[in-house]
């Protein structure tokens, strides 16, 4: 069934386990995430990034509608989330395309502008029943929140949460986006300090680059929502590449089906890792 992200995040936080949020690019990704979640007997968040919406011609509704319908018919509890949203127009479409949560990404703005933009988005989102995630890297940092070396300070994060009213905070603790090898080291003491200091659940971005044992340790230390994208694409594209060795192949189902199976396997495995 289609559930809300707030429900999944609250339940995970109360149970001290993680809820994985997987990035969707194609319908096959979403089918794979649903299959993996059913196999693992775990819920998951389907997340559609602003980038992925741009790939689909800037129109969020067609794919989002398919994802919502897929969730409704799934044996797993799945929610729909809009990820890394910088465009206010996309934020304002969230509820009508079936998303229950949005990550507003103002992390590239100067701190005061990030606070103001995030607070505005949160106020609007709460009026429309949405769960809002935002991110804070390093105040004054110019690299975005999820570049190597950037760290979120607990006192700054607490002030940011108070000033913006966000429901969940993405923090910089050592991961970075789009790593294709799993070699990231996390600052688990910082995760624990942030979890102790903040009244809202923590989100880890760039989780593809984090080894399984470290991901499990991050959840134990206090990470609740675990965002995973790239590692699914490594599985997807690897399977496509393998299938395309057959040069007589023309039916896309013959390379998309193995890609979908590969992603489902990765999803089921990672859901076990973050289960806590
Ligand atoms: O918001 C999405 C995630 O942070 C995914 O990052 O592609 O490096 O796993 P990743
Ligand atoms: Zn991210």
CA distance 141 to 36: 37
Q: Is the minimum distance from the CB of 227 to ligand 1 under 6 angstroms?
A: yes
**Whether pLDDT at 109 is above 90:** no
What is residue 20's three-state secondary structure?
Answer: strand
Range of the domain at 42: 5-274
Nearest CA residue ID for atom 4, ligand 1: 205
The confidence band for 143, taking pLDDT boundaries of 50, 70 and 90, is low
Residues with beta carbon < 5 A to ion ligand 2?
A: 205
- Beta strands in 50-186, from DSSP E residues, in sequence order: 78-85, 101-104, 131-136, 168-171
**Whether pLDDT at 146 is above 90:** no
Token pair listed for 33: 């995430």
The per-residue pLDDT of the chain, averaged, comes to 95
The confidence band for 110, taking pLDDT boundaries of 50, 70 and 90, is confident
Residue 149 has a pLDDT of: 82
State the CATH number of the domain containing residue 263.
3.20.20.70
Place of tokens 């609007």: 124
Neighbouring C-beta atoms of residue 257, cutoff 10 Å: 15
**Whether pLDDT at 144 is above 70:** no
Nearest CA residue ID for atom 6, ligand 1: 206
Give tens-digit pLDDT for 218-249: 999 999 999 999 999 999 999 999 999 999 99
Give the best-scoring range by mean pLDDT among 35-39, 112-116, 175-179.
35-39
Mean pLDDT of 135-144: 66
**Whether pLDDT at 60 is above 70:** yes
Buried b (16+ CB within 10 A) or exposed e, 25-43: bbebbbbbbbbbbbbbebb
Q: Judge if ipTM > 0.90.
A: yes
Give tens-digit pLDDT for 179-224: 999 999 999 999 999 999 999 999 999 999 999 999 999 999 999 9
- Beta strands in the chain, from DSSP E residues, in sequence order: 19-23, 44-49, 78-85, 101-104, 131-136, 168-171, 202-204, 223-228
Distance 110 CA to ligand 1 centre (A): 23
Q: In this structure, which ligand is nearest to the CA of 205?
A: 1
Nearest CA residue ID for atom 2, ligand 1: 227
Residue 140 has a pLDDT of: 55
* pTM (2 d.p.): 0.97
Residue from 137, 178, 203 to probe ligand 1 pocket by mutation (most atoms less than 8 Å from CB):
178
Q: Is the minimum distance from the CB of 175 to ligand 1 under 6 angstroms?
A: no
For 127, residues 6+ apart whose C-beta sits below 8 A from its C-beta are none
For 65, residues 6+ apart whose C-beta sits below 8 A from its C-beta are 97, 98
Helix axes 253-274, 230-243, angle to 10 degrees: 150
Q: Is 135 annotated as a binding residue?
A: yes
- Domain count for the chain: 1
Report which ligand 1 atom has the smallest distance to the Cα of 103: 1
Q: Is 177 annotated as a binding residue?
A: yes
């Amino acid at each position: 069934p289609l559930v809300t992200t707030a429900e999944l995040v609250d339940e995970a936080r109360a149970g001290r386990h993680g809820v994985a949020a997987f990035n969707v690019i194609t319908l096959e990704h979403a089918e794979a995430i649903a299959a993996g979640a059913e196999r693992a007997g775990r819920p998951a968040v389907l997340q559609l990034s602003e980038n992925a919406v741009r790939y689909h011609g800037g129109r969020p509704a067609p794919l989002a509608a398919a994802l919502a319908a897929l969730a409704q018919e799934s044996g797993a509890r799945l929610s729909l989330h809009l990820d890394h949203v910088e465009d206010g127009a996309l934020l304002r479409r969230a509820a009508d395309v079936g998303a229950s949560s949005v990550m507003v990404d103002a992390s590239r703005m100067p701190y005061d502008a990030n606070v103001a933009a995030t607070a505005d988005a949160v106020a609007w989102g709460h009026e429309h029943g949405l769960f809002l995630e935002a991110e804070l890297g390093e105040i004054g940092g110019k690299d975005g929140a999820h570049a190597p070396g950037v760290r979120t300070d607990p006192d700054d994060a607490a002030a940011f949460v108070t000033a913006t009213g966000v429901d969940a905070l993405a923090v910089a603790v050592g991961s970075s986006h789009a790593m294709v090898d799993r070699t990231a080291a996390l600052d688990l003491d910082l995760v624990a300090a942030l979890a102790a200091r903040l009244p809202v659940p923590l989100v880890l971005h760039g989780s593809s680059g984090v080894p399984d044992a470290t991901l499990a340790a991050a959840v134990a230390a206090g990470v609740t929502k675990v965002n995973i994208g790239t590692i699914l694409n490594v599985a997807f594209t690897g399977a496509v590449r393998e299938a395309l060795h057959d040069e007589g192949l023309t039916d896309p189902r013959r390379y998309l089906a193995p890609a979908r199976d590969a992603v489902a396997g990765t999803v089921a495995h990672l859901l076990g890792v973050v289960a806590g």
